[in-house]
Amino acid sequence: MGKPTGFLEYKRKNNREERPEERIQHYNEFHQPLPERERREQASRCTDCGVPFCQAGMDFDGGTVGCPLNNLIPEWNDFLYRGNYQQAFHRLMKTSNFPEFTSRVCPGLCEEACTGNLYKGAVTVRDNELAIIEWGYANGKMDPHPPTVRTGKKVVVVGSGPAGLAVADQLNRRGHSVTVLEKEDRIGGLLMYGIPNMKLEKWVIDRRRVRMEADGVEFLTGVCVGKDVTPKQLEEQYDAVILACGAPVPRDLPVPGREGKGIGFAVPYLTASTKSLLDGIKLDPFMNAKGKRVLVIGGGDTANDCIGTAVRQGAKKITQFLRREEEPLTRAADNPWPEPPVVRKDGYGQQECVAVYGKDPRSYATRVKEFVLDEGGKVKAAIGIKLERVIDEATGKKITRDIEGSEFEVKCDMVLIAAGFTGADSALAESFGLHTDKKGNVPGTCPASHKTAVPHVFVAGDMRRGASLVVWAIREGRETAREVDTYLMGYSNLA
């Protein structure tokens, strides 16, 4: 720890953020880095705790405490404070394949677990991470370094989301020849089309692709397994097949009127918006919120991204239904640190709604009871009903139930369902002779394994774990790569 009094001298200071009224005029990232002196001051706030929960990455009481990648956070914070960016960069890259992604889109499990939360706020770990990796790119530290020796083993990765990219990066470093297949026209999976440009500008992904290709990874886009190439062909041509196809099946709402026109899922909407932005093509009217009353159903990051996108498209009004109750502003007594904090968080989309429409879009403890359609079968309203948490007398457990007589109507022309995901593409899994479990995931041969029951076929990321965070997908990719490497070589020296 370079400055023992740093956390006493300096308050937490985030990267500068454009005002909502300004940033909704564009689709670019809206955070600006702090000057060098202030960045080092923020790094000095890290106290190098005796037990650094920030890097723990452990499951605890249904949540995750600290970084799943076990990033060496106190170490690179110390080097950053001292101005030794080179050593900070090397320590960061020991555990993280893609800091340029996680520093932009990760919710910051490390910061939630930071001891600084007990005093003047957590260390700005994400912003520090971003400063380090961008320094690396700007100073030649991310120049290509292809392996000098190849093993002669060929590996194919199906899917180019964060898990697939991490698998490919790790196995390529080991010297295996890696090909990545992606069904879309660009690599990145949900990084490319599920996360809006204002959170992760797409040149960041393209930059990484260029680096990985220079290192020897082959990317083939527009290739759909089962259509353009069969599972049997992959198993015959490669020494190992890794499935990293995500958990794309969306959770639907089985309520009356669901078949109505104007009701759709969140990811296709976000995908259409990003493709329109990148390719300069006109949006399909169904995917354009301009002038519409939009209802977003769901309370996660994807719902917030839909809100932010709809604001930029010029929605007339936005309402959000969340099943959960409104969280307190501060931790409750039964939610002590370092547990993940159950507190209210205002996403950028909600902030922008307040700025544009003068009110928070959220309706807590609410579900859709029914959609109302016009004579042409198009949605014109949704009937919401309030929810309450009660104790089930039979089981003694808390359950959610409707509050009788609490129905209300919300006028809407467009409904975006962002209610989460139910698992992997079962048809794709079955084409490889695999099955999905009761959670909709493709399991390994045991809970800790990524190897499937089919010889030389492995599974990684959300496809195995279920829908989760980018940082967890990268960890999954690294673990899978180590297991594949051991399968191919008899041992592994991958971290």
Indicate which CATH number applies to the domain containing 407.
Answer: 3.50.50.60
- Whether 186 and 257 share a structural domain: no
> What SS3 string covers the chain?
CCCCCHHHHCCCCCCEECCHHHHCCCCCCCEECCCHHHHHHHHHCCCCCCCCHHHCCEEECCEEECCCCCCCHHHHHHHHHCCCHHHHHHHHHCCCCCHHHHHHHCCCHHHHCCHHHHCCCCCCHHHHHHHHHHHHHHCCCCCCCCCCCCCCCEEEEECCCHHHHHHHHHHHHHCCEEEEEECCCCCCCHHHHCCCCCCCCHHHHHHHHHHHHHHCCEEEECCCECCCECHHHHHHHCCEEEECCCCCEECCCCCCCCCCECEEEHHHHHHHHHHHHHHCCCCCHHHCCCCCEEEEECCCHHHHHHHHHHHHHCCCEEEEECCCCCCCCCCCCCCCCCCCCCCCCCCHHHHHHHHHHCCCCEECCEEEEEEEECCCCEEEEEEEEEEEEEECCCCCCEEEEECCCCCEEEECCEEEECCCEEECCHHHHHHCCCCCCCCCCCCCCCCCCCECCCCCEEECCHHHHCCCCHHHHHHHHHHHHHHHHHHHHCCCCCC
Residue 62 has pLDDT above 90, yes or no: no
* pLDDT of 30: 98
Confidence of residue 64 (pLDDT cuts 50, 70, 90): confident
Residue 133 has pLDDT above 90, yes or no: yes
Average pLDDT over residues 425-453: 96
Asked whether residue 144 is domain-assigned, the answer is no
- Whether 274 and 404 share a structural domain: yes
Domain end (from 389, 419, 449): 419
Residue 482 has pLDDT above 90, yes or no: yes
Asked whether residue 354 is domain-assigned, the answer is yes
- Whether 169 and 128 share a structural domain: no
Average pLDDT over residues 158-187: 99
Asked whether residue 146 is domain-assigned, the answer is no
* pLDDT of 414: 99
Domain span at residue 107?
Answer: 6-138
- Whether 350 and 448 share a structural domain: no
Domain end (from 419, 440, 474): 419
Average pLDDT over residues 451-474: 97
Domain end (from 419, 442, 469): 419
- Whether 399 and 438 share a structural domain: no
d(CA 434, CA 341): 37
pLDDT tens, 5-18?
A: 999 999 999 999 99
Neighbouring C-beta atoms of residue 328, cutoff 10 Å: 12
Residue 78 has pLDDT above 80, yes or no: yes
- Whether 231 and 171 share a structural domain: yes
* pLDDT of 119: 81
Confidence of residue 166 (pLDDT cuts 50, 70, 90): very high
Asked whether residue 398 is domain-assigned, the answer is yes
- Whether 219 and 353 share a structural domain: no
- The overall average pLDDT reported for the chain is 97
- Whether 297 and 335 share a structural domain: yes
* pLDDT of 425: 97
The percent of residues above 70 in pLDDT, for the chain, comes to 100
Q: Is the dihedral of CA 281, 286, 292, 298 positive or negative?
A: negative
Residue 61 has pLDDT above 80, yes or no: no
* pLDDT of 2: 74
- Whether 314 and 217 share a structural domain: no
pLDDT tens, 372-413?
A: 999 999 999 999 999 999 999 889 999 999 999 999 999 999
Amino acid at 463: M
* pLDDT of 120: 78
**Number of domain units in the chain:** 3
- Whether 217 and 270 share a structural domain: no
**Could you tell me if 128 and 43 are in contact, meaning their C-beta atoms sit under 8 angstroms apart?**
yes
pLDDT tens, 344-360?
A: 999 999 999 999 999 99
CATH number of residue 120's parent domain: 1.10.1060.10
Asked whether residue 143 is domain-assigned, the answer is no
* pLDDT of 164: 99
Asked whether residue 19 is domain-assigned, the answer is yes
Confidence of residue 308 (pLDDT cuts 50, 70, 90): very high
Asked whether residue 278 is domain-assigned, the answer is yes
- Whether 295 and 402 share a structural domain: yes
pLDDT tens, 87-120?
A: 999 999 999 999 999 999 999 999 999 999 888 7
* pLDDT of 35: 97
Residue 167 has pLDDT above 90, yes or no: yes
- Whether 256 and 405 share a structural domain: yes
Q: Is the peptide bond before 338 cis (omega within 30 degrees of 0)?
A: yes
* pLDDT of 58: 87
pLDDT tens, 217-246?
A: 999 999 999 999 999 999 999 999 999 999
* pLDDT of 59: 81
* pLDDT of 173: 98
Asked whether residue 25 is domain-assigned, the answer is yes
